[in-house]
Amino acid sequence: MSVYTPEPADQSTPAIAWACDKCHEVVSAVGAVIVGKGEQLELILTTLVSGGHLLLEDVPGVAKTLAAQAAAQALGLDFRRIQFVPDLLPGDIMGSFIYDSRADSFRFRRGPIFTNLILADEINRGTPKTQSALLEAMQEQQVTVEGQSFTLDKPFMVIATQNPLEFEGTYPLPEAQIDRFLARLSMGYPSPEAECEMLARRQSRQADTVTIPPVLSKQEFLEIQRAIETVHVNPDIHSYIVQIVAKTRADRRVQLGASPRGSLALFKLSRSRAMMQGRDFVTPDDVKAVAVPALAHRVILRPELWAERISGETVVHDALEEVPVPRAEWR
């Protein structure tokens, strides 16, 4: 796990310092279960405190589901898991109206989406109709069933997982839905040392399941989100973000670059990353640290390049190399 070194006290307000300490307590608690993935866990938390949705794209068995469950437990949030399969219907997610014979009327029975943190497991195994049922909830924080709208509780976030190597029986996510994920992350295989530590911990606890006591309450989670809104972003950083995103659009290898929603995602994640570092202002290093997770999944390459070893990550890395880093006082 990465070592957290707090910034000097004069670089943060009391609210930011408190939020930073609480977030690193959460990362430590989850890191006690998921070994050797401190950087990934910090990015998961950075995405969630930004109020965004996260796409975990990786092979089976690398703790994608466990990471989502452990994060929800440590954050003190209500958690539901939805296993996407081809016969899953929108009503299975959103809920439906059922007839109440005693009241002689229809009443709405809430679906699993009425929670704080949803794990949409193997989302690309659901049909496009079911996938699109998440769109309104992810963007508008509400669902509409038979013409009636129902507001979701706050906070509301979606962590979706998918296996990039399986194609049979899957339905690729449409660009509009991919764009609504604030960040995309790959957990990756653990190092041999971390995998040995994982086996040792499993032997010592003598159980497969692990329960993490809450580090935060739901109210404290919302207070952290409010603290992030006080993080200052210099106008030069605004320009730096926009130039990076513009580079992805101008790249000749790209059919479709990052959208303005990508600029906003990079802005949000940079502020949250600054808070995680104990600062109340954003630096170019914050932007660089979250640029690939924020933008790579929004970049669509030209079809003739799909067979080559070029990816959205490559395009974003090249943009970071080409855009001049601004020099200024960031506070």
* CATH topology assigned to domain 1-203+214-230: Rossmann fold (3.40.50)
Average pLDDT score, the chain: 88
Write out the DSSP string of 7-40.
PPGGGS-HHHHHHHHHHHHHHHHHHTTSTT-HHH
CATH number for domain 231-331, candidates 1.10.8.80, 3.30.70.20, 1.10.3720.10, 1.10.10.10: 1.10.8.80
Q: Where are the domains of the chain?
A: 1-203+214-230, 231-331
Find the helix or strand (DSSP H, E) in which 240 lies. Answer: helix 235-250
CA distances from residue 140 to 3, 149, 156, 170, 199 in whole angstroms, order as listed: 37, 11, 10, 26, 42
pLDDT tens digit sequence for 244-284: 999 999 988 988 899 999 999 999 999 999 999 999 999 99
Cβ contacts of residue 71 below 8 Å, gap of 6+? 26, 30, 41, 44, 45, 48, 117, 159
What pLDDT score was predicted for residue 3?
42
Q: Is the pLDDT of residue 176 over 90?
A: no
Does position 39 have pLDDT exceeding 80, yes or no? Answer: yes
Helix or strand run (H / E) with residue 280? none
d(CA 161, CA 152): 22
Using an 8 Å Cβ cutoff, are 117 and 78 in contact?
A: yes
Which of 17-31, 118-132, 303-317 is modeled with the greatest confidence? 17-31
Model pLDDT for residues 14-25, shown as the tens digit of each residue: 999 999 999 999
Flag the least confident range among 121-130, 172-181, 212-221. Answer: 172-181
Put simply, whether the predicted model's pTM sits higher than 0.85 gets the answer yes
Contacting residues for 170 by C-beta, under 8 A, at least 6 apart: 124, 125, 162
pLDDT (0 to 100) of residue 10 = 57
For residue 177, the model assigns a pLDDT of: 83
